[in-house]
Structure 1
Amino acid sequence: MAGIDFSSLTPKNGAVQELAELIFLELIEDDKLGQLVTFMPNQENGKKLGFVGKAGLLGKKAKGCDPEYAKNLVQASEKTWDLQEWEIAEVICYKELENTIAEYFAANGSDMADLTSSEYMQQVVRPILEQAIRDLVIRFVFFGDKNAEGSLKDGIDAEYFNLIDGIFKQLFTGVTEGKTKRVVIDANTKTTVAAQYEAMRAPGAATGVLNKLIVDTPMKLRRMKDRVFIVTQAFADMLNFDIQENNKGSELQWESIFEGIQKTSYQGLTLIAVPQFDEIIQEYLKNTTNAEAYDKPFRVIYGVKGNFRAGSKSSETVADVKVTFDDVTRKNYLYAADTLGALVLAEEYAAVAY
C-alpha cells in the first residue's frame, strides 16, 4: 500500500471505508492474490454456482429425416457456496505504548488515550490490519478445514482454521474419492525435516513431480488454457536446486507478485510460489505420522485458476472495518468482519502433488 496517504482512520472522514475498499481490491486484482484464485463478490451462503464443462461426444452417422437429438453439447454442473463469517476484534490501550517507540506516534490532540486519528493508527495498525486480512484469506481459502482440531500443533486454536473447508481439503477429498489425480511426493513421508529436504534434493525429484503432473493428468486438463502450478516455497526452492545443480539447466527467472509471492515459468506454464503456505505448514500444522517432520511441506496444485474460487457476500469492500474509541473504558477498538468461502469447481480439472 506504499504511496497511499490516509489523513486519518476515523469513520467520519470516510478513510475507514476507503481502507476496506483497498483491501478488497488487493484480493481480487489479477496481479495480486487474484493470481491464485478467482474472487467472486456478491455471493450468498447456499447459493448454487453453476459451471459448464466440455461437450460430450458429438457427431454420428447421418440418418436423413428425423435426426435423433441428444443433450451432449452442454454438460453443466454446480457447486454450493458455504460462506461463513469471520471477524478480527482487537483492543488497544494507550498505556500499552508507554516506553516504546510507538509512544511518539500516539499523540492525538489533548486526549492521549484516543488513538483513532494518531500516526500510530495510520502507520502501524493500518498496515498490520491490511496484512492480517490478506493472510486470513490465504489461510482459510487454502488451509481451511472444518475438522482441523486433530491436524494442528498443540496450543493452536482450531477456530483459526475451521471456518470452511479450503482448497487443499477439497483436493485431498477429491483424491480420496478418485476424482482428482495425485502425484506422490516421497520426500514428504520422511521422519524429520532434514530428511524431507535431503530427499527432495535428489536429482530429478522436483522436476519429476511437475513433469508427472503434466503428463499423467487427464487430457481434458492438459487441453485447457491458462494452466498454472501453485506451490509451496519449499517446493520452489528445491525446484531451483534441481534445475541448477542436477539438470544443469538455466536458472528460473522469478517475478515478484505481492508480499513475497513470486512467479516464474516452467515448460511454458505459470508457476507461483507462495511462502505464506510454508509459514502455515511450519508454524501451525502437525504431522500426525512423523512428529519431527513438517506436514507435507512440498505441495503442488495444478490446474486452471478459474477452477479455484473464493467468494464473499460483499460487493466492493471488506464488509465491516471500524476503529473506535470508547470514553468509558478509555480503550481503542478495532473491528473487521466479512464472509468467506472457497470452492474447487471441478475436481477432475485439477491435480495435486503432496
Structure 2
Amino acid sequence: MSLIQFDPQSFDLNPREAEAVSEVIFERVFNDSDLAEYHDIETGIDVKTQIAFAGRLGLLGKKAEGCTPSEAGPFTLTQKYWEPVLEDFRLSHCQADMDALFKIFRKAKRINPDFFDMVGSQEFGVIIAAVEQALIENIHRKVWFNDKTAKLVANGGVFKTGTDLDYFNSFNGLFKQIADEVTASKVTLVPISANAGTSYTGQALAADAALGILEKLVTVADDRLVAADDAMILVTRSIADNYRASLRNKNLGSGYMEVVEEGRPKLLFDGIEVKVRYDWDRYIKTYQDNGTKYNLPHRAVFTTKSNIPVGTLSAEDLAKLDVFYDKTLKTNIIDAAYTLDAKHLESYMTVAAY
C-alpha cells in the first residue's frame, strides 16, 4: 500500500487568519470530469473477464445451382481480456498536524479520548474533498498514460528523471495500447511533424496545422467511425488552441465552430465534437520531459466512448473512501482501494495522431 505524506509546514497563515472552513480555497484539478464523459464504464469486471468480438460477414447469396447451397465466407470470433489491477493508497495524519496547519480547527475544551479524532468534523472534510478530487484526476491519468513497461529517459524510456514509475506501470493505458496497434498496422496513424522537433521551440505547431491534422483524422477514418453517434475527437490543448486560432481567421462553415452549450464551450470539426484534454498537456509536460523536449506533446484520438471503456469491479470504488480513526496510533486515516483497467476494443474504430 502506497502512503501519502502530509506536510503541514508548507502552509503559512497570514496575520489575518482564516476563520472558517468555507474560506479554504482548493487548487483546481486539471480534470475533474466524470469518466463517463469520455468512456463507457463497465462494472463487475474481474480478472481475465473475456471480451468477445464477432467478425463481419462478407458477401452473401449466389444464384442457386443444383441441390447444394453456395458456401458463405467464414464467421470468425476473436477475443481480448479485461485484466483489472487492484490499486490502493492511504493518507494519515494526527490532530496535532491539523492544528499546525489550520488555526480554524475546533478548540477542544478538555483533553478526552476523542481529542485526536477529527473524523466527521467539518475541518476534516477539507482533506477528504482534496483526496476525492485527486483520486478522480489520477484515474484519468492512469487510463491514458499507464504503461507496464514504463522506463525513465535515462533507461531509454520517455518518463522524466525522478518519476516514480510505480504510479504508472500497474496496467497498460490507452496510449500504450493504441501505439502497439499502430505498430502492428491495425490502427491508422496521422503523423504530426512538430512532435519530431528536437527542442521545445522546435515542437511548436505551425499556423493552421490543427486544421490539417483534424482533416486527415476524419478523411482516413473508417466510415463506421465517422457515422457513429458517439464519435468524438480527443485532443491536447495545443491542437485545440491552434484550431481555435484558425476559426478566428477563417470562415469554415457551420460544422466548424466553437459554440457554447449549457455554459460550456464546445468545439466542432465537420460536425464532430472535439473534446479538449487539458490534463493530457499537463501530464506530458510534468512526466514526459527529457529536459530538452516533450514526448509527443501534440496528440489526438478519433474514436467513440464505447470503444475505449474503463473496467472496474464496482464503479463506487472509484470514488469511495474509507475514513476512520485509529485510537492506538491517535491518527486519522483515509484509505482507498479499487480495481481498474482500460481497453481499446476495435482498431478500425480509432484513428490516432501524434
Alignment TM class, shorter chain as reference: 0.7 to 0.9
Residues 112, 248 of structure 1: CA spacing in aligned structure 2 closer, same or farther, 3 A cutoff? farther
Query: Residue 103 of structure 1 aligns with which residue?
Result: 103
2:217 matched to 1:213? yes
Residues 113, 182 of structure 1: CA spacing in aligned structure 2 closer, same or farther, 3 A cutoff? same
- Judge conservation of contact 2:323–2:333 (CA < 8 Å) in 1: yes
Equivalents in 2 of 1:248, 1:107: separation in Å?
63
2:338 matched to 1:341? no
Residues 214, 62 of structure 1: CA spacing in aligned structure 2 closer, same or farther, 3 A cutoff? farther
Equivalents in 1 of 2:55, 2:139: separation in Å?
28
Query: Residue 11 of structure 1 aligns with which residue?
Result: none
- Judge conservation of contact 2:258–2:266 (CA < 8 Å) in 1: no
Query: Residue 140 of structure 2 aligns with which residue?
Result: 138
Match of 1:189 among 168, 187, 196: 196
Residues 177, 98 of structure 1: CA spacing in aligned structure 2 closer, same or farther, 3 A cutoff? same
* Percent identity for Structure 1 against Structure 2: 29
Equivalents in 2 of 1:327, 1:47: separation in Å?
41
2:245 matched to 1:241? yes
Bigger Cα displacement from structure 2, 47-56 vs 124-133: 47-56
Query: Residue 67 of structure 1 aligns with which residue?
Result: 69
Deviations 1:106-128 (A, max 9, x none): 55785442111111222x12221
Query: Residue 165 of structure 1 aligns with which residue?
Result: 172
Bigger Cα displacement from structure 2, 46-55 vs 178-187: 46-55
2:325 matched to 1:325? yes
- Judge conservation of contact 1:262–1:273 (CA < 8 Å) in 2: no
Equivalents in 2 of 1:234, 1:254: separation in Å?
20
SS at match of 2:217: helix
Structure with greater proportional helix content: 1
- Judge conservation of contact 2:200–2:293 (CA < 8 Å) in 1: yes
Deviations 1:244-293 (A, max 9, x none): 23x35575225579xxx964221111111111111111111234xxx422
Equivalents in 2 of 1:96, 1:219: separation in Å?
59
- Judge conservation of contact 1:230–1:300 (CA < 8 Å) in 2: yes
Q: TM-score, normalised by structure 2?
A: 0.80
User: Match for 1:154: what amino acid?
Assistant: T
Aligned length: 313
Aligned ranges 1:1-354 → 2 under 5 Å: 32-63=34-65, 65-70=67-72, 76-100=77-101, 102-105=102-105, 111-122=114-125, 124-150=126-152, 151-197=158-204, 200-202=205-207, 204-245=208-249, 247-249=250-252, 251-255=257-261, 263-287=266-290, 291-314=291-314, 316-318=316-318, 321-354=321-354
SS at match of 1:61: coil
The structure with the largest alpha-carbon Rg is: 2
SS at match of 1:286: coil
Residues 85, 276 of structure 1: CA spacing in aligned structure 2 closer, same or farther, 3 A cutoff? same
User: Match for 2:283: what amino acid?
Assistant: I
Deviations 1:188-217 (A, max 9, x none): 1112223322xx142x31010010011123
Residues 117, 225 of structure 1: CA spacing in aligned structure 2 closer, same or farther, 3 A cutoff? closer
Shift of 1:318: 3.6
- Judge conservation of contact 1:256–1:263 (CA < 8 Å) in 2: no
Deviations 1:87-115 (A, max 9, x none): 12111222223344x33135578544211
Residues 226, 64 of structure 1: CA spacing in aligned structure 2 closer, same or farther, 3 A cutoff? farther
Shift of 1:55: 3.6
Equivalents in 2 of 1:64, 1:218: separation in Å?
39
- Judge conservation of contact 2:98–2:105 (CA < 8 Å) in 1: no
Residues 343, 117 of structure 1: CA spacing in aligned structure 2 closer, same or farther, 3 A cutoff? same
Unpaired runs of at least 5, structure 2: 1-30, 153-157
Q: TM-score, normalised by structure 1?
A: 0.80
Bigger Cα displacement from structure 2, 107-116 vs 44-53: 107-116
Equivalents in 1 of 2:222, 2:257: separation in Å?
29
SS at match of 1:306: helix
- Judge conservation of contact 1:81–1:343 (CA < 8 Å) in 2: yes
SS at match of 1:295: coil
